[in-house]
Structure 1
Amino acid sequence: MPQNLIINDTTLRDGEQTAGVAFTVDEKCAIASTLAAAGVPEMEIGIPAMGDEEIDCINTIAALDLPAALMVWGRLTEGDLARAMRCQADIVHLSIPVSDIHLQHKLRQSREWVLTQVTQVIEKAVATGRKISLGLEDASRADAGFLALVARRAQACGASRIRFADTLGVLDPFTTYEAVARLREAVDIEIEIHAHNDLGLATANTLAALRGGATHANTTVNGLGERAGNAALEEVVMGVRHLHHADTGVDTQALVAISCLVARASGRQVAFNKSIVGEAVFTHESGIHIDGLLKNAATYESFDPSELGRQRRTVLGKHSGSQAVRQAYGLLGVALDDDALTARLLTRIRDHAMRVKQEATADELRSFLLASLEMPSPLSSGRLA
């Protein structure tokens, strides 16, 4: 793992490219401020080529003087470079397709044309004094030898970084590691991984790329982005922390609040079972799990919810056991010492879950208790305190 691992969050650029999502200037400023306060060191905040309104928004964010480096995105053309120069951004990222399928069918250009563009535009960009990043669009489907050639040309022209883009999310962690490791052998400059989630592997591929020698990880909050989205900020941060035993510098206690902010601004709700920030992540129902948790939380939690400023909770449902029932009624001030009564309550709770598909409320639990107390019990010697 690189010692200087950097998160570059692109929620305000690629995240906003989620179909139907559009942030206001105020929303962008709030998201940028929150990310910076949480320790995110780099942010990609817009596309100057979209016009004056976008440039004004970028400069409004820059005027906040946040403790983070700001990047803008453009195509590898002199026109997009000129627009980027109108922005108060620390890093200018210029992207060009490198796969034959993109070159032949989208641009109708040759590999030689790519090398010429890299030479001409990157040299001009570097001469501006800005830090320059070259984006390798559709790198995951490009010829490996040509990819290395383009990367070396970018370095020779003064680029500080190359971005390996798995534009269609077609890689797995093994091929990602191999591709990035080859690039690391080819160049000495920064390598950023930009992974898409079409096959559900964006976070896994990002972690693999970091193993392979990437220095930067492109992320979005809640995994926003085109089609299936990008590698999720919260997943990469926690994955690096627990699987690679490294530190991104991002405050994990802030991840849930950031997720909620972006969910509201984007109008895209977070799935109940979304990893790290979903409501269900530290919610337990299974009787076996709850019994284990009560004895030692590590039995069914790979990390403590307090790392995210969260708390575990248990719910009563079809898969609950007697321990969960006693715990739930204990929170209501009722100590269950009667095994038969506990069993009757468990039956009612399971029936309720099957019928309404929801956890019983406190009032419903009390009504179950009253109804169960009216039933004769063969173990009436037990005590209800």
Structure 2
Amino acid sequence: MRQNTVPSLPQPGRHTFMDCTLRDGSYSVDFHFDAQTVETVLTCVAAAGLEWVEVGHGLGIGGGTVAGTNLSDEQWGELATRFLPESCRWGMFVQPGLASVADVRRMAGAGMSFARIGVDILAYEEAYAHVRQARELGLTVFVNLMKSHLVGLDEAVRIGLDIERACAPDGLYFVDSVGQFLPEQTARLFAEASRRLRTPLGFHGHNNLGLANANTLAATNNGAAIVDCTLAGLGRDAGNAVLEQLAAVLELQGGKRVYHTDALAHASEHCVSRLRTVATDRELQVLGALYGLHSKYFPAIDDAVEAYAVDRTRLMEAVKPHAYERDLTRTDIEAIAKSLLPAA
């Protein structure tokens, strides 16, 4: 069995990429990647020099129980082990409410080398038990703070310090789940967090405002040790930072090749970009970023707009303050829509 060891995270002042094409990108194909695409992507990113590759259902381990998929967690592990060399380790996303510690143990036994524990930043303590157990399994463990836009810079750093003291993960990600971050904001966050935290930092951005690449560069230029990218920017809704583009930027900045940009660009054009992807609503993507609303709320918002004939933008603006306080249900959004109706 493959040893559960991974390359070390870079020293301060340096950074590396994690490829998430086959995890976050699975949202764009309704969690149904064909076997040939999986083989091509895994072979390409490994040959291009990437050392960190995340695979699996978009929701992480156990995601197939919520949203159907053609590949089980075990099948993902088999494919990753078959097509990735020893120098390129693979891991999976873990949401504590969806994947149990036993599930993580099962995938560690299948060769998984790292786990990314994803929790909303307002519920960060939910990560602690999974982090501790994953570390005991010999995995490299990241905490991914989803919806990091919900708190300010000082609070984000305080939460990072709490996590560092409580469970000492190997890496800590700030996640721009709604694509709202601006490059100057990202730069300030990572400059301050890298100054005050010992834990290596990571960034995962979404492209709702066309700024995923710029935010990723702002993160790497201000202390991020590892950042997420996908071929062609494939990902949930508006997508992610673009792997082949950032590889080219890195080459231009340093005057030397770090990753095989040409191979990544070829795979993007001739494999990933030609996939039949699910339709997305560009209006909702932009408004979601503007009002800080996660895409999981979009179906309920659209249903409420249709049911109560309220203006979509007005409803999203009204939902915003509530979403910054707690996780909303469909019933919550319906009640907010009703509150916008004229008095009888």
1:20, distance to aligned residue in structure 2 (A): 4.0
Amino acid at match of 2:199: I
1:161, distance to aligned residue in structure 2 (A): 0.4
Greater alpha carbon shift after TM alignment, 214-223 vs 180-189: 180-189
Q: 1:123 to 1:258 in 2, by over 3 A?
A: same
Aligned residue number for residue 207 of structure 2 = 197
Conservation of the 8 A alpha-carbon contact between 1:206 and 1:217: yes
Amino acid at match of 1:58: G
1:230, distance to aligned residue in structure 2 (A): 0.3
The question of 1:49 aligning with 2:96 is answered no
The counterpart of 1:74, out of the listed 94, 97, 101, is 94
Deviations 1:96-115 (A, max 9, x none): 0014xxxxxxxxxxx5xx33
Aligned residue number for residue 364 of structure 1 = none
1:186, distance to aligned residue in structure 2 (A): 2.7
The question of 1:169 aligning with 2:189 is answered no
1:25, distance to aligned residue in structure 2 (A): 3.2
For residues 308-347 of structure 1, what are the structure 2 equivalents within 5 Å? none
The question of 1:6 aligning with 2:26 is answered no
Aligned residue number for residue 260 of structure 2 = 251
1:246, distance to aligned residue in structure 2 (A): 6.8
Aligned residue number for residue 323 of structure 1 = none
Q: 1:148 to 1:77 in 2, by over 3 A?
A: farther
Question: Share of identical aligned residues, percent?
Answer: 22
Amino acid at match of 1:84: V
The question of 1:62 aligning with 2:62 is answered no
Q: 1:257 to 1:154 in 2, by over 3 A?
A: same
The counterpart of 1:233, out of the listed 222, 237, 243, is 243
Conservation of the 8 A alpha-carbon contact between 2:118 and 2:144: yes
Amino acid at match of 2:174: F
The question of 1:89 aligning with 2:89 is answered no
Amino acid at match of 1:43: V
Q: 1:178 to 1:38 in 2, by over 3 A?
A: same
Q: Which has the larger radius of gyration?
A: 1
RMSD: 2.5
1:247, distance to aligned residue in structure 2 (A): 6.0
2-structure distance, mates of 1:195, 1:81: 27
Deviations 1:128-172 (A, max 9, x none): 111000000011332333322332233231310011101111011
Tell me the TM-score normalized by structure 2: 0.67
2-structure distance, mates of 1:129, 1:248: 32
Deviations 1:198-233 (A, max 9, x none): 000000010001111101110010011111110000
2-structure distance, mates of 1:226, 1:261: 21
Q: 1:135 to 1:207 in 2, by over 3 A?
A: same
Greater alpha carbon shift after TM alignment, 206-215 vs 24-33: 24-33
Q: 1:161 to 1:213 in 2, by over 3 A?
A: same
SS at match of 2:62: helix
Q: 1:200 to 1:27 in 2, by over 3 A?
A: same
Tell me the TM-score normalized by structure 1: 0.61
- RCO comparison, higher one (Cα < 8 Å, 6+): 2
1-structure distance, mates of 2:259, 2:131: 31
Deviations 1:326-379 (A, max 9, x none): xxxxxxxxxxxxxxxxxxxxxxxxxxxxxxxxxxxxxxxxxxxxxxxxxxxxxx
The counterpart of 2:198, out of the listed 183, 188, 192, is 188
Amino acid at match of 1:199: L
For residues 206-355 of structure 1, what are the structure 2 equivalents within 5 Å? 206-242=216-252, 244-245=253-254, 249-263=258-272, 266-267=275-276
SS at match of 2:227: strand
2-structure distance, mates of 1:134, 1:246: 33
1-structure distance, mates of 2:255, 2:194: 20
Unaligned 5+ residue runs, structure 2? 1-10, 65-70, 279-344
Aligned residue number for residue 31 of structure 1 = 41
2-structure distance, mates of 1:25, 1:82: 27
1:57, distance to aligned residue in structure 2 (A): 2.1
